[in-house]
Structure 1
Amino acid sequence: MDVVLSEPSPDKLQVLQHNQYITADNISPHTVAPSPIDQFRAWFKDAADGNKVHEPEAMTLSTATPNGVPSSRTVLLKQVDSKGFVFYTNYTSRKSQELLANPYAALSFYWRETHRAVRVVGKIEKVSREESDEYFQSRPIGSRVGACASKQSSVIGEDDLDARLKKVEDRFGVHTEQPHVPTPEFWGGWRVIPNEVEFWSGKPSRLHDRVRYLRVEGSTDDHPQWKIERLSP
């Protein structure tokens, strides 16, 4: 079924119908892995297998100011480890400034092709400088130059970025045989350490499967324990 729209008035657009969600498997607290990280790895590998899902690493990152004003944007997952979910960005950007002031975040993955979604809520920490350096130096040279040239989230003039880009290219000899672009001090990784993870599996008539992991109070980041429960659709 295709999306059906209605415009009952010039100032109103309504979505009347939408495709049904259908997943072959059923999930419950008894069928998922004991750890949400392990369950995520299994779903992510399935999404990435044979390019089944286009860009499965794309995720919505939500942050908030100390006053509770939220903002969301799409970023790319770059690592999943035993502690959580890692992405990289400019530490002077809006998202980083909000994380520094209010060190909690939410992530949302939606894999349309497999009718699955994952929601993560947790506290946040910076990854080590060594991890940030290792990842930065693995990026294409253009991405490294761009990270150095961009004052992410700041207002910029029409020709300012080109001028800054040229300046960075000249400074680090980008067009020479052995260019070296060091990792900027203002750039690095964040890790979301989950205390809540929900797995959503689409079903007909909006009767979706939902399984939530809640971290047991007092369990450590290195050895978290989880309460697993089914949620009503």
Structure 2
Amino acid sequence: MPVCMGRTHAVMGAALWLAAAPSLADRLGQELSGGSLALSAFAASGAALLPDLDHPRATLARTLGPVTGNLARAVAALAGGHRKGTHCLMACVAVGAVTGLLRVKTGTVGMVAILFVLAYVAMLTLGLAAWKGRPAGDVILVAQATVVTGAGGFVCRGDWWWMTWAVGGGMLIHILGDMCTLGGVPLFLPFSRRRICLPVMGRTGSVPESVVAATGFAAFGVWVTCATVAGSPWWTLAWLN
């Protein structure tokens, strides 16, 4: 997976989750503090890389060397190859459900472990460390992920309801991003093998993909900022009045 697409997925995961999470919390009758929102953005950003664990050359597959490399090959075999079994709605539901089960069974310990991995992957993909690919860079990334997970234990205090949604939602955001490239995704596997494709980004890793993604994020950021300043929900046109 080209690095630029990996970054696109990570940024999309964080940005769209930040926009959707407050409304989701309100609809579910849950509390979502500013600290929890920030932490959940790291989780969604890292989870937005999970579908590409079916590709041995993807960022996530190279995170822990042979360990994640072998895992990626196993996932690819089970999924039937790249952009197949891990790139459908059922995969989002299944992984989200497993995360929810782990939350019930393991509590804060399991959620902190998941947050650490997802935060590390997000920071690695976004290049949030000097000397990337060197031992010093790895130490910095581990330290950053440790700070995030430490904050998680302090801020959340056992209330991790959002983790299930951030993981499943992050995966869904990835799949929707891939759906906007020429390759498309088999969105409704295992019920249909037909690939759904809205190729507004062109080929994965191409210049059009980078331009469309950058332009879209810029417009989205301006829209949400203006709506927030005006005191209106960002998903409405109220701030234009």
Bigger Rg, which one: 1
Q: Same fold (TM over 0.5)?
A: no
TM-score for both structures, normalised by structure 1: 0.25
Structure with the largest fraction of helix: 2
Higher strand fraction: Structure 1 or Structure 2? 1
TM-score w.r.t. the length of structure 2 is: 0.24
